Amino acid sequence: MVPARLVTMEVIIQPNQEAAAALVARIVARELRSNPHLVLGLATGQTMECVYRHLVRLHQTEKLDFSLCRTFNLDEYVGLFPSDPNSYRHYMNHHLFRHVNVDPRNTYLPNGLAADLDEECRRYESAIKRFGGIDLQLLGIGKAGHIGFNEPLSALRSRTRVKALTPTTLKQNASTFGGEENMPRRAITMGVGTILECRRCILLATGASKANVISRAVEGPITSMISASALQLHARSTVIVDEDAAGNLVEKDYYRWIFANEPEWEEYR
C-alpha cells in the first residue's frame, strides 16, 4: 500500500535544465540500487537526452548496474525500421542502451512494423503485465499536453494502441525528420490507463515553451484534452521542472517549500 502522504502529485522546481535532469537521474539510480530487477519505463525526446547522459555517467563512474533491469518505452512510430535514425529504438540505443550494461533482450519497445498493429498493442500490454508492471515510469510532456502519444481526447482509461498524431505534435517533431511531410502520421503508445498503473511516475519538463502546458497539467482541471493532467489521479507522481517551465505555476513558493523541508527529498537537496 502507498503511504497516505505519498498519495499526491508533487512538483519539484530546480534552478535550470541540468539540475532538473540530474535530479531525475539520481532518483532512477536510487530506485535501481534499491531494486536491481526494476522494471523501468522510458521516454524519448530532447528533454530526456540530458537524463540519459547523467545515467551513463553514473554507470561509468559509480558502476550503476542495469544488468538485471527491464525497460519498456512509452511509444514508437508506425512504419519506421529500428535502424532508422528517427525511430525510438535507435534513439534509446544511441543515448542509453549501448553505453550501459543493460541486456538488449530486456529492452522493450512497441513494434511499429508489425503486420497486425492491434495485436502488437495487446502483446505489449501483456509483456508489461508478465513482468509485474512498471515500477518507475519516466515521462516528458508535449506542447499539446500529451504524455506518450496520448494526444488530446485520449481516454483516461486508454490502453496501448495506435494513435494518429495531431498537427501540433507533427510540427513539434518535424525538425528531426527534415519537415512534416517526412513524418509518420501514427504511433503506437502506452495508454493513459497503462501509465496510471505504473507504481511511480516522474514527469520532467524544462524550458519556457513548456510553462503554459505544465500549469494546465498540474494546476488545471483533469481533462482528456491534456492527458498529462491525469497524473493528478496517480498515487505517486512527481513533476520536476526548471524555473522556466515553472513560470506559470501559481503555487511556486509552496512547491519550493516541499522540496526544502519534506524528509523524502532530504538526500536530494
pLDDT in tens, 146-202: 999 999 999 999 999 999 999 999 999 999 999 999 999 999 999 999 999 999 999
Percent of residues, the chain, with pLDDT higher than 90: 95
pLDDT in tens, 235-261: 999 999 999 999 999 999 999 999 999
Per-residue model confidence (pLDDT) at position 8: 72
First to last CA, the chain: 27
Q: Is the pLDDT of residue 1 over 70?
A: no
| Helix, coil or strand: residue 203 | strand
Yes or no: say if 219 and 249 are a contact pair by the CB < 8 Å rule.
yes
pLDDT exceeds cutoff 90 at 4: no
- DSSP 8-class letter at 177: H
Walk me through the domains of the chain, giving residue ranges and CATH numbers: 4-261 (3.40.50.1360)
- Residue 17 pLDDT exceeds 50: yes
Other Cβ atoms less than 10 A from the Cβ of 115: the count is 7
CA distance linking residue 51 with residue 57, whole number of Å: 10
The predicted pLDDT at position 115 comes to: 98
The pTM score is 0.95
How does strand 136-139 pair with strand 107-108?
A: unpaired
When pLDDT is averaged across residues 12-40 and rounded to a whole number, the result is 98
Cell numbers of 158, please? 486508454
Q: What is the mean pLDDT of the chain?
A: 96
- The answer to whether 27 and 60 are in contact (CB under 8 A) is no
